[in-house]
Amino acid sequence: MKFHKLTHSTLLGIVSAGLIAGCGNIESPSAKGPAVPSHFLGSKAAVKRSSTGWLANLSDRRLVASVNQAMQSNNDLAAAAGRLRSARAQVTVARSVRLPQVSASGSATRNRRDTEINGGFPTLGSADTTYNLGANFNWELDLWGRLGNRESAAQAEANAASFDYHAFRLSLAANIARSWFNTAELELQVKLARDTVSSLEKNLNFVERGVDLGTSEALDLRLTRANLDTSRSNLEARRRQLDSTTRSLEILLGSYPANQLQTNDSLPDLNDPVPTGLPSELLIRRPDLAASAQRVAAASERVMDAQKSFLPSFSLTGSRGSASSDLTKLLNPDFLAASIAARIGQTIYDGGRIRGETEAARGRFEEAVANYRQNVLQAFGEVETALAAEDYLNRQLRSQKRAVTESIAAEDLAWDQYSRGLVESLTWLEAQRRSFNSRSALLQLQNFRLQNRINLHLALGGDFKTRLQK
């Protein structure tokens, strides 16, 4: 089972144009690496739906309800939402620098003049109070677009934080689904171990009566007891695992880990096969790839911002205010004074600071491009691995089901022959052990198949149909 033949190089070609267009005149060999189409910025609706919509394919309504609960109460998701809010606020901060800054000030100053008479002894003089009221104005003119680069970088970083948030939602849903089916499998393993213990207890009673009657040997009794105690130990081990897994799931759901959560006592069948010819464009909706692409865009803007630091800066400053010893005259237009000035600034020598900052920005840009390229390849690898595993697990599951059928029949036959004295106890004890192991392995395989399907949805960024919203 493979992707539709829109291959790795094709997707890398699709996503390269947006990066090159966003880099302006940046000369970097890494600028030819992969990026994301411009419609990534409009994909949030599709990404949000992809976070949980795929759960319906797993045919477990209680799981869907539990995931929806976690979306409201999971503390790690709440922390991710806080990071997103902070990133969005930084956009407002960056945008504000491009706008005029206006401030007001006021003060009152009291001065006292002393006089000296009669042999140098000071005498208190009169006191004057001066009131000041003013307004100041400052506006840096963004002639080179440097402040615009900063705002664009902040916006791209906020977009990345938004995609990070949706990536966390998708990952949280996948982790809950994994833990949910692990818990369900362990509940079935506990039931299987309990049934095995019950069966061995009945067999032990039969062997004990045989020893008393002389039809069974002491060795049969000791082997049966050993098998029974081993099965009891296995039961407690399964119970311990179930307890731990259940508490971990409760924490994921934002609940107190009280080991009270009840999952389904069965593992659902995956009746819907993976569609053939899945288009690789589905990867474009992956929020982690979208976040990585936005970090490339942000790093690009930071490089251009650093480069433009070599250029002069222009700003307008102004003030208007009045000063008077009479508070009633403070707002009188006749006492107001105003000034306006233009300022130009140009760095002559800074010891290589700007050049160093520019090189550092270029390095971060190249790092972001390389990270994105690696993330794309990793995404392809995750999908291809999950698709291949789907075929392997399906064939393995069919073989294991046949093995379970044969081992159960062998166990029944061995017990029947032992009870009639036709075979030794080792024969039916070994048949029973194989039957238990075979049924336990079948439960594990059923869970592995579910886990792999979850991994496939996570690798694709959602279900098998929802496309990116342009």
Element at 356 (helix H, strand E): helix 353-419
5 pLDDT more than 50: no
Q: What span, in angstroms and rounded, lies between the C-alpha atoms of 112 and 93?
A: 45
β-sheet bridge partners, residue 123: 115
The two tokens of residue 345 are 């600034």
132 pLDDT more than 80: no
Q: What span, in angstroms and rounded, lies between the C-alpha atoms of 265 and 450?
A: 15
9 pLDDT more than 70: no
The two tokens of residue 256 are 């107190």
- pLDDT above 70 as % of the chain: 75
- Nearest in space to 450 (alpha carbons), one of 284, 267, 313: 267
**334 vs 321, 322, 330, CA distance in Å?**
11, 9, 9
Q: What span, in angstroms and rounded, lies between the C-alpha atoms of 463 and 470?
A: 18
257 pLDDT more than 70: yes
Q: Which of 31-35, 332-336, 343-347, 424-428 has the lowest mean pLDDT?
A: 31-35
Q: Which of 17-26, 87-96, 162-171, 400-409 has the lowest mean pLDDT?
A: 17-26
Work out the pLDDT band at 35, boundaries 50, 70, 90. very low
Average pLDDT over the chain, rounded to whole? 79
Q: What span, in angstroms and rounded, lies between the C-alpha atoms of 286 and 50?
A: 9
For the stretch 145-191, pLDDT in tens is 888 888 889 999 999 999 999 999 999 999 999 999 999 999 999 99
β-sheet bridge partners, residue 129: 110
Q: Which of 29-43, 67-81, 235-249 has the lowest mean pLDDT?
A: 29-43
For the stretch 305-350, pLDDT in tens is 888 888 887 777 766 555 555 555 555 555 555 566 667 777 777 7
The two tokens of residue 191 are 């039931």
- Nearest in space to 193 (alpha carbons), one of 234, 223, 225, 226: 234
Q: What is the dihedral of CA 389, 277, 174, 398, to 10 degrees?
A: -40
Residue 351: predicted pLDDT = 79
Backbone angles phi, psi at 314, to 5 degrees: -125, 140
Q: What span, in angstroms and rounded, lies between the C-alpha atoms of 38 and 21?
A: 10
For the stretch 437-462, pLDDT in tens is 999 999 999 999 999 999 999 999 88
Residue 175: predicted pLDDT = 93
Residue 103's Cβ-count burial label (10 Å; 0-12, 13-18, 19+) is exposed
Q: What is the CATH number of domain 8-100+145-310+363-460?
A: 1.20.1600.10
For the stretch 211-231, pLDDT in tens is 766 656 788 888 889 999 999
